[in-house]
Amino acid sequence: MKETTRNKLIDATFEEIYSHGYQGAALTDILAKAGVHKGSMYHCFENKKEMALAAISEKIAERFGTRYRAIVELQGPYLQHFFDVLRDESLRDFNRGCPLANLVQEMSNLDEDFDRVLKGIYAKFRDVLKLIFDRAVKAGELKVCDTDKLALFSIVVIEGAILSAKASGNSKDYFDSIEMLIEHIEMSRS
Amino acid sequence: MKETTRNKLIDATFEEIYSHGYQGAALTDILAKAGVHKGSMYHCFENKKEMALAAISEKIAERFGTRYRAIVELQGPYLQHFFDVLRDESLRDFNRGCPLANLVQEMSNLDEDFDRVLKGIYAKFRDVLKLIFDRAVKAGELKVCDTDKLALFSIVVIEGAILSAKASGNSKDYFDSIEMLIEHIEMSRS
């Protein structure tokens, strides 16, 4: 029962922050969306900030886990699975952009706790991409190369591409950029 | 006299928004920073939003103008000037990130007026980069290539690289990504 209340709060908090930013997400709206009274919230979390940090950690980790970490568990071909995820329109919300990037832009220089949590998520994302490229090297799909830099460049292009599509209102900007990233990675094919 | 008050307000508004976001920038802090009374503000602007949109348009246009549009006015070598700007650490504030990207992330899906203004700035930025590449083609520095896509990819990497440096707290992420972008552009050298 308590777990259900907690999950409802986590889901509603993530959605409200994703739509309005942390500073723009009102606690009353989160509680209304979750269908949870303030008193019940205090059984789970001390305040809006603690709830927000939990929601961000858990929901973004879940998104990256489903999309990217899942690739590492597969048998390969690793690069093809990675490219399929990048090209999958259904995984993208260009109106709201990337929840991780939004929060980094909004909060990293304003609050140390947010900065710490976001740094952790970002580092994990980068580690997972490096792991995909390491598997691809091991499987003979990629030449031996600097997989750490390739992971950095991939994150940079993915985040920049989502931002460009949000800025221009044109999802084609995302897909065109992703094809250029894929061409770049293909140059390291074995 | 009125122009000076207006300039003070524009500068203070830009700085406060750059540091705290639009929703996080308090009007009282802007007025205190500008050293302007609320009554005088109303001689120049109707409200915080009108002042913010003016500040964003003028100050970001000024930044891009000084950095990138200036390259078009030079005699070349265009690519080398462009790479020099990209590599210039003194032009970057990795703590606060890119003011355009921050505002797109925060406001594009929340407010139509912001969305329109930011779309305009973004499109101009992209046009200027395309113009630099077009000049480079004309000057024989670059092979004939899709300069529009090269401009898109450049913005994507620049914005993604600044975001990554802000997310990780490590400016090396920016510089490593920029070198990979430069390598990518160098592949189209004549």
Euclidean distance between CA atoms A104 and A100, whole angstroms = 6
**Cβ separation of A163 and B24 shorter than 8 Å?**
no
DSSP B48: H
Residue type, A147: T
Euclidean distance between CA atoms A57 and A53, whole angstroms = 6
Contact criterion met (CB below 8 Å) for B52 and B17? yes
Residue B14 predicted with pLDDT over 70: yes
Residues of A in contact with B184 (CB under 8 A): 180, 184
- Domains of chain B and any CATH numbers: 54-186 (1.10.357.10)
Nearest-neighbour CA in chain B from A41: distance (Å): 25
**Within an 8 Å CB–CB cutoff, is residue B105 touching chain A?**
yes
The stretch B59-69 carries a mean pLDDT of 88
Tell me the pLDDT tens digit for each residue of A3-38.
Answer: 699 999 999 999 999 999 998 899 999 999 999 999
**Within an 8 Å CB–CB cutoff, is residue B95 touching chain A?**
yes
The stretch A173-182 carries a mean pLDDT of 96
Q: Residue B142 forms beta bridges with which residues?
A: B189
Q: What pTM did the predictor assign? A: 0.92
Which tokens belong to A174?
A: 């995302």
pLDDT in the model for residue A79: 97
pLDDT in the model for residue A57: 94
Mutate to test the interface with B, among A23, A118, A145, A163 (most CBs of B within 10 A): A163
pLDDT in the model for residue A17: 96
Q: Which ranges of chain B would DSSP assign to H, the alpha helix? A: 2-20, 27-34, 38-44, 48-64, 70-73, 78-87, 99-107, 112-138, 147-168, 171-186
pLDDT bracket for residue B59 (50, 70, 90):
very high
Residue B182 predicted with pLDDT over 70: yes
**Within an 8 Å CB–CB cutoff, is residue B116 touching chain A?**
no
ipTM value for the complex: 0.90
Euclidean distance between CA atoms B29 and B5, whole angstroms = 16
Nearest-neighbour CA in chain B from A186: distance (Å): 13
